[in-house]
Amino acid sequence: MSLQDLIDIEEKIKRYEALNAALDVPFGVAVKRLTSILNDPWSFNGCRTALDLTIEGVEKPCQPSLATRVKIAKANPQLLRASIKFLTTKQSPEKHIEMMNHMTRCTCLPCQCRRDIEASLEDKWPSPEASRSNNIAPRLLDKLVDFITTFLIRVLCDLPEHQFRNPKPNKPSKFQPWPLNPSDLLPNGLEDSVEGLTLWASGSAGYEATVIRLTGRLAVFYRPFVQSILTQPHHALAIKLPMKHLSLSMEPPKRPKHPMFERLEQPGDMTGLSFDNTCNSIFNYLSELQGGCLFTEASLPHPRTTHETRVEP
């Protein structure tokens, strides 16, 4: 790559940053907007810049500490419900790609600037899988998928296994603590949830290991989910995809290390995830899955018992 190529890409990045610098979304507006997008992604206008700014509006108050992030996540159960529904929706791979393309179709100036950056990087360091048209859209959604999976993981890590939340009197259903029961935890059902998570874990956009980590936390919290993962045809989520992403993390980075790439917050081809982070996510997942396998069918709680086991918020 020539010096002029690097200069051209850096100019595009500076332009993108300048276009976003003056924009801000208040926290309450951001939560409401993000919840709406996740509940019905097909109604979203496809402005990826607006989506990123919305995520930043939710993220900013969460930054001081882990305890703050968990507290804010628990205080916004409507966003948690929309997030798990979005990630566990079963659809064909073709429909999944179509949805991602729909969510990133905007051609406003900031969006086109970001798309030009990604296209320039793709030209210089092509993705290892599929065609460019099928790879740019998933990478443009990296911030969304990484944020909502981490949001869900934080809450699940803070809850004891199999202990659902207590309902709050006089509160609307969407503002009840999450999760109240198995159908609230996985609104699309066990088998369909496995297929939905598999779609998000199958690519090479950079967030796949985090999706796999979320799958492990769901399996630890609700052990019957383990059986659905293990009985999935071809064991995609149990074995194939974790091994795939471990292998990808061991490959030499295809994009050079340079401050301008880091400013993009763009993983791309798994190079944005450090080897350590990817390995930790995958090995934690496999350990959690193995722990679930050690439970015999007799030791698994009956669904009715599970409904009655609760913790205070």
Region of 52 (left: φ > 0; alpha: ψ -120 to 50; beta: rest) is alpha
* φ/ψ (deg, to 5) at 229: -65, -45
> Tell me: the pLDDT tens digits for 245-285?
888 777 665 554 444 444 444 433 333 345 667 777 888 88
SS (H, E, C) 212-261: HHHHHHHHHHCCHHHHHHHCCHHHHHHHHHHHHHHHHHHCCCCCCCCHHH
The DSSP 8-state label assigned to residue 44 in this structure reads S
CB 145 within 8 A of CB 214: no
CB 155 within 8 A of CB 80: yes
pLDDT tier, 10 (very low <50, low <70, confident <90, very high otherwise): low
Q: Encode 242-260: b = buried (16+ Cβ within 10 Å), e = exposed.
A: bebbbebbeeeeebeeeeb
> Tell me: the pLDDT tens digits for 69-117?
899 999 999 999 999 999 999 999 999 999 999 998 887 877 777 777 6
Whole-prediction pTM: 0.79
